[in-house]
Structures are given as structure tokens and as C-alpha cells.
Structure 1
Amino acid sequence: MIRKVFGILLTIIFLTSVFTSRFTIISAFPMYSQNETEQGIIEEILKLDSRIHALARKINELSFQNGELKKALAAKRLELNRLDGQLKERKKKLARWVVFSYKGGMGTFLAVLVGAEDLGDFLRRFDNITRVLEYYNNIISETRNLLLYKKREESYIMEKQKEIQALEEEARKALKELQEALAQKEQELIRAKNILENTVNLEKISKNWQEALPSLDYLLKNLSSLPWSSISPDSLKVNYLTLTARAEFIDKSITEKLFSGNDKLKNAYFTFSPEGITLSEKGPDGKPLYSITCRLELEENNKIKIIPIRVEFNGVLLPPEVIHDLTKGHDLSFTPPPLPYDLKITSISTEEGKLILYLKKY
């Protein structure tokens, strides 16, 4: 009897442990899936925010270019109208000359010369006739030049009209893409509300990202125009036997030299690590708003190109499409300051807190 009771108790304990573990696994799985789903939705929303910002920027740039072209076109049309007035005046003068030539022409000039009373009178008449001929020759030459100039102006206007049409077409495409991106975001927000219990965090992150994007865009746009010529190595070790050198730049000193003179970039800073360089900006709370990790690539003529490989915002790692949208149309290269002893850069590397240029004299 005791054995039976003991066997029943063991069976109950075993079944309880099995069901409890199964319930734990089942209940834990949705929690993991929920976090993963939320992370995916946040990434998708931030990607769409970046796309929308990039398209809006592109439309603004196209609109500005279009406006500038239309101003240039209006100025050229005024110039063309002025040319038309000049040509009409020249044609009138030439018409009088043609009528005169047809009626008398050189015969009239000869009659004037023959009617001279003496040599002095003859030379005076000859000089007057020469001036008249020269005057109309100049009119003919000026008219010919004006016609050529007018044709060039008309060609210029036609080219600018084509450019304006191309810009307007590009702007229409960008606007359509913007509308599609906005519609995608609306659908993504609807999906988020259906899946997530609380979307406040998602909306807050999206809002903060939208506020950070103009600052990030400004940094990327002005990266190549920063005062790179003002930086100098914090340490320079020269080997005169091999004619090589190692120049070290500290991230704090580069940050101070490049960003201190620009009020819009006063909160931006560099950090160097074995992975590459990271561009960041501090928010009002002192924490980084965003960070862009980049690798460096040496190009011709000692030029260095910055290639973004990762964008992070609020702990969210953004997909490669975001990097493409943010950097499109921006020059992310720079030329270091003139190097001493006519040295050339042979390679680049980064360490914790340091950017290192390896130099050699050729």
C-alpha cells in the first residue's frame, strides 16, 4: 500500500514538473518574440523617418536649384529681348545702306570725288567716303556678331529649359517616393498599434530621431568643409634613416580644432577605436544623440575618404539603407593639412583614442 501511494506521489511530482517547465517555455517564448518584434518595428520606423527626411531634403534642394535656374533663364530672356532691339536697329541702318547702294552705290561716290575742285577737296571727300564705308562695314560686322551671340543665348535658354524640366521630373519622382514612404510609415504605425500594447516608447524614439536628423544631416553635409588644414599631429615620430614617419592625432584635440568654431557643431565629437572613427553628438542630457561608426580609406593625392558602416540611435542599430539615405549627395572625404618634409601618406590606422597616419618621403 505504501509503495502504491509513494508511486502515485512520484507520478504527480513528475507530471507537475513537466507541465510547469512546458508552461514556462511557452510563456517565455512570446516575451522574447515580443521584444524582437518591437525592436524590428522601431528599426523600420526609424528607417522610414530617415528616408522621409532624405526625400524632403532632396525636394528642397531640387526646388532651390529650379528657382536658381529660372532666375538665370529670366535674366537671359531679358538679354535676348535687348539683343532683339539692337538687331532691329542694325537692320534699319543696313536697309538704308542697301537702298543707297542699289540706287547709286559706288557710282555716287565716284561722282562726289569727280566733283572735287582741287586736291585738298578731293582728299577731304575721299576721307568722308572712307568713313561712311567703314561705318557700314562696322554695322555689318556687329550685326553678324549679334546674330551669333543671339543664337548662343537661345541655345543656352533651351538647355536651361531642359535642365528645369529634368529637375521638375526628378522632384515629382521624389515627391511620389516621399508620399509612398509616408504611407508606409502610417501602415507601420498601424501594425505597431495592433501588435504592441504600448506604443508611447516607439513614438518618443521616432520623435527624437526626427529632431536629431537635421543636426546629423548638417554634420554630414559639412564634414568635408571642416577646417582640416588647422589640425596638426599631437605626436610625430620621424625616422630619418628610412625617411618614414608616424603621425598621431588624439580624438579630443581633433574634436576641439574642427568643431569649436561652429556653433551648430559644438556638441559633436570624434572618438577613435580599433574599429575606426565614430562621429557623435551630445544631447541636452549629455548622452549621445546618435553615433556613426566609419572606416577610413586612403585615396589618391593624400585624400582620405570616410565610409560609414554603422548608425546607432537610442540603442537601436539602424539598417544599411539608412546610411545610404543619410549620406547620399554628401562629400565624405577630406584632405589632411600639408605634411612636413614633403611626406606622403602610405596607410591609416586607428587605436583607442588615436588616429595614426604612416608617412613616407618619395
Structure 2
Amino acid sequence: MLFDSSVRRELWRSFIGTLVVLLTVVLTMLLIRILSQATRGAFAPADLSLVLSYTLIGQLPVMVALALFVAVVTVLSRLWRDSEMVVWQVSGASQFAFIKPLLKMAWPAIVLVALCTLVARPWAQNQTEVLKQRYEQRSDMARVAPGQFQTSADGKRVFFIDSHSDGQQTARNVFMVMTDKGQESVVTAREGLLQLDQGLRYLVLAQGERTQTDLTTGEKTLSHFSTARIAVGDAPDVALKVPEPRSMSTLDLLAIPTRQAQAELTWRIGLIWATFNMVLAGLSLAAGNARRNSNWNLVYALLVFVVYFNLLSLSQSWVSKGKLEWISGLLLIHGGLTLGALFMIWWRDGAVLPGRHVSRRAWAASQAEGV
């Protein structure tokens, strides 16, 4: 009982501390990236907090898996370094005996990863796509807040308006800079109205002037107009947009026998399996020698995590390209690591192998005596 409770208590402390640090770092990186996307006109600045929350939900499963792996490795490495592991082994606790308290501590984290991966992440991705599509349907005039410069969706135009009118479809005191094919145009107008004509967007300007500069020769051309119409892009056709597999629910993916759907299922189910494997891998990689002041096991653990999660993404790519069946990919990569981790635990537990006839209890006693 003491063995079980002490190991789980220390694992929880390490897991929560690691997860808080990871959340802080990832949240800062996501905020910088999302702010950059907002300035390029990917979504409305007012939706910044929502997009940040949805993106953080999408990143949460990987962070929980990493925090769990780090907690297992650091706690068990400390037990080996301080010779506590040797004491437990001499007392009769084998390496396999650690699997039970580890899984008792880890099952809430595995359930959290499963819920986030199968339910919360697709929902958050779908909500992000809805926000972006809703913003794409708005005109470039409606995207611009009065008194602020705003870049258009394609990045070729910069708008500035003094005020909105007519339900944000008509803008007053319009200033626009357009750059395309070596030409830079500065357009000012008293009013601007967005119109749709045969699937194209046109900006109709009234009472203004245009200064066009050839960026190669520096030649300038000034013209005045009472009415002008400028093409500003295609009209959005959201109805023809097919939802991405990442934003589809797990039940919908199971009902669609496409490679892209199976690849997404490979990633989702594989991430849950990977979280379980992180517990076994951490137990098998944390073993060390108290007489050697070395942290190579931590380096090996980090290398295993990086390679494993790269294989997780690689298996998704193989399934989407038809090089591998999704069930075969799950069994090959995740099942292979499960068997490999169990074999390492069995081997470190003092199992009898060819050329190795030292029992676990005798080996632990020699470690304790410092022989």
C-alpha cells in the first residue's frame, strides 16, 4: 500500500508541474502565431481569444502525453539515482510491479487524451473553420475597422476607411494601396461599395483619384474619376467547400471509407495508444545505475519520444497515400512499441535469458551492496 501510494503521489506532482510548464510555453507560442495570422486577415481580430482556445484544445492531447512521459521518466530516474528502486526490488517489488501504480495514476490522463482526441479536438477544429469561413464571407470593407489599416485576404491590398455606413457594405473616405505585377496604386475615394457580378467581387468607388507608380521605372500616373470599379477577387463559395477530416467527428470518419478519413483515424487512435505506450516506455527507459552519475537515460527517452511521434505522423501520411492499411499501421508502430517496452521491462526484471542467469533479487542485492 505504501509502495503504491508513494509512487502515485510523486508522479502526480511531477505530471502537474510539467503540464503547467508545457501549457505556458505552448500558449505563448500559439499566441504569437495566431496574432500573426490575424494581422494577415485570416480571421477577425475579435475572434482572437476563441481561435486561441480552440487551437489550445487541439494541442492539449500531445502536451498531456508528453507531460505524462516526462513525469514517469523523471520520477523513476530519481528512484534509481537515490537507490530507492534497489530498496523496492530487494523488498520484492519487480519492475512489472510498477505497472499497476503507474496505470492507476495515468488512466485519468489517458481518458483525457481520448476525449480531447476523439471529441474535443474535432469540434474545436470545426469551430475554427466556421470562424474563418464566416470571416471569408464578409467583404473586405466589412473586415476593416474604422481608423485602422487592414490587409486584404490575399495580401495584395491595404485598406483604411474613416467610417462605415449602409450595414458595413459601404465605406466612406476610402484609402487603398494595391500592389500587383510591378505596379503600385494608391486610390482615395469618398465612398466605396462592394458588389458581386458573375462570381467576382468588384469594389465600386465614387469621387476619387488614383496614383499609379511603376516600381521598375518610377513613372507615376495621376487620374481622377467620378466612378471606378476595381476587381478585388472571387466571391466565396462556402457551399462547395468540403470539410477537412480533422474537423469531422470520429463517427463520421468511421462511416467514410476514404484514405484521408482512415489516415485521420490512424492519428487519433494512435495518439491514445501512444499515451499508454508512454507509460510503459518511461518505465523501461528510466532504469539506471546509482553508482553512475549519468543522465543518458533521459537523452534516450527524449530521442524515443521524438522518433515515436514522428512515426505517428509518418504512419498517417502512409495511410493517406495508400502505402499502408490504417489497422496495420496501428499494429505495426504502436503495437511494436508496446511489445518492445514490455520486453525491456521483462529483461530488466532479471528474466533468464541465454547467457544471463542472474536473478532480479541477487542483482538488486549487489546494487545495494555497491559491488
| TM more than 0.5 | no
- TM-score, with structure 1 as normaliser: 0.24
- TM-score, with structure 2 as normaliser: 0.24
Select the structure of larger CA radius of gyration.
1
